[in-house]
Structure 1
Amino acid sequence: MWEEQPHWDCNPKPSKGPDDALGCLFGQRGTRPQDDTTDAGGRSEPRTVTITTRQAATLIAQGSGITRQPPGPKVVISMAFIVYTNPAVRYQTTTILGTAIEVEFTPVSYTWNWGDGTTTTTTDPGAPYPNQTVTHRYQHTATGVTTSLTTTWTTRYRPQGDPTWRPIEGTIT
């Protein structure tokens, strides 16, 4: 609880340093209770670290990827163009104030941009043939059409070794 543990704010700074993967300038809140007590073992009280969605977004390095069927650069107009992505949860670890922090990224929605002016948003990552669930039928022949995917993620974090996950408000795209 706030009354029991110091709270550290993360204020954005212009550039990340080698010990600061989240790009934060840490400082204690001015309203923090002044309590310099230690426990019976002589250890100082634990610090609470708060991570924002913006900070977590700097950690995720890879999207969920696109697999298309049929493979290759061409699509047959009279057939369904099948796409799917990898819905796996991703994990990243960073260090804040000397504490290893594990961050979990869970995909919650997928927006497919078909490159023809249409999009499809779904919570389904799709599946390969013959159990396909995300498809598109192009209406006209075209060249230079690119299909893209925007994945939306929810995030949560915990200090390494702590069984309790803490949600990070908002989503990342």
Structure 2
Amino acid sequence: MELTGQSNSGSQTGQGSSSGGGSSAESADSTFPGSSPAGFGTAPANPVYRPLNPARFGTTDIRCVITVGGRCEVPFAGNAQTEDEDAVIDADGAATVVTISDIASFAPRAAVQFMQPDRWMVVGLPTNFYAQIDRHVVSGTLLGQPADVRFTPRAYNWSYGDGTTALSGTPGNTWQALGLAEFDPTATSHVYTVEGTYVIDLTVLYTAEYRWAGGAWTPIAGHVELPANPLVAEATSDAVTVLVDRDCTRAPVGPGC
């Protein structure tokens, strides 16, 4: 079962931005762009480390683990933690359990958010939103020892700026990559009903694992939430002037310009 939820809490357009620093990360699986697209808002804020997996993420219930394919499994069972398997034995023989707060110096890489069409929407037609991020490894010092922390993106919580939010187990993709025509609905698309300027925010939930000196990966109970770059876009009903192949201000020779 794919996890996708929507919640509507009103029609007021949201405004805002976030800012913060970055961290040095070692890529384990894939490398994606690490900065916001030009004109797409400010840099992401600092990550939030939560000690317990949430009963709710954003405004939508989370009742399962979201796999890479966007499917639900047993509720965060992979992040259960026991003293025997996750404990560090110190010189006095005492066991110290690694918690989510212990990895606060390990910052995950922020997702990069995109949209189609680029920075504009047609009222009444689907706008496609998607993000680029993958599982990755950050190296550092954990409880005084060299260690790696592996972050896996699990859920994507979009706030579309019109009072509507949606939780998805997939980051989405371009219409072209999905084999769809422009303005076809997708798992992460949204339809705006009122003209105006909107700020679209995305928060990604990551689960974390750690390992000592190249040892086995051990899951850490809890999760990390980190915003992606916000998008600012204009919704219009005047489809005759905007239904073109690309942004005419940047590519005036594009079809329809």
TM more than 0.5: yes
1:166, 1:7 → 2: CA distance? 15
TM-score relative to the length of structure 2: 0.46
Cα deviation code 1:97-129 (max 9, x no counterpart)? 553100000011110000100000010111111
Cα displacement (A) at 1:67: 1.2
Asked if 2 retains the 8 angstrom alpha-carbon contact of 1:77 and 1:137, the reply is yes
- 1:16-31 alignment to 2 at 5 Å? none
1:157, 1:105 → 2: CA distance? 9
Report the counterpart of residue 125 of structure 1 in structure 2.
171
Q: Which amino acid aligns with 2:89?
A: H
Report the counterpart of residue 208 of structure 2 in structure 1.
155
Query: Which structure has the greater CA radius of gyration?
Result: 1
- 1:65-104 alignment to 2 at 5 Å? 65-72=112-119, 74-96=120-142, 98-104=144-150
Asked if 1 retains the 8 angstrom alpha-carbon contact of 2:102 and 2:142, the reply is no
Asked if 2 retains the 8 angstrom alpha-carbon contact of 1:6 and 1:33, the reply is no
More helix by share: 2
1:128, 1:168 → 2: CA distance? 33
TM-score relative to the length of structure 1: 0.67
2:93, 2:96 → 1: CA distance? 16
Q: Which runs of 5+ in 1 are unaligned?
A: 9-27, 35-47
Q: Are positions 1:7 and 2:89 aligned together?
A: yes
Cα displacement (A) at 1:135: 0.1
Identity of aligned residues (%): 26
Q: Compared with structure 1, are the counterparts of its residues 52 and 82 closer, same or farther at alpha carbon in structure 2 (3 Å cutoff)?
A: same
Helix, strand or coil for the counterpart of 2:102? helix
Structure having greater relative contact order (Cα 8 Å, sep ≥ 6)? 2
Moved segments of 4+, more than 4 Å: none
Cα displacement (A) at 1:142: 1.6
Report the counterpart of residue 172 of structure 1 in structure 2.
224
1:84, 1:76 → 2: CA distance? 17
Cα displacement (A) at 1:59: 1.8
Asked if 2 retains the 8 angstrom alpha-carbon contact of 1:52 and 1:168, the reply is yes
Cα displacement (A) at 1:91: 1.1
From 100, 105, 116, the counterpart of 1:53: 100
1:148, 1:136 → 2: CA distance? 13
2:88, 2:175 → 1: CA distance? 53
Cα displacement (A) at 1:53: 1.4
Report the counterpart of residue 62 of structure 1 in structure 2.
109
Cα deviation code 1:116-157 (max 9, x no counterpart)? 0000001011111142431000010122x1101010011000
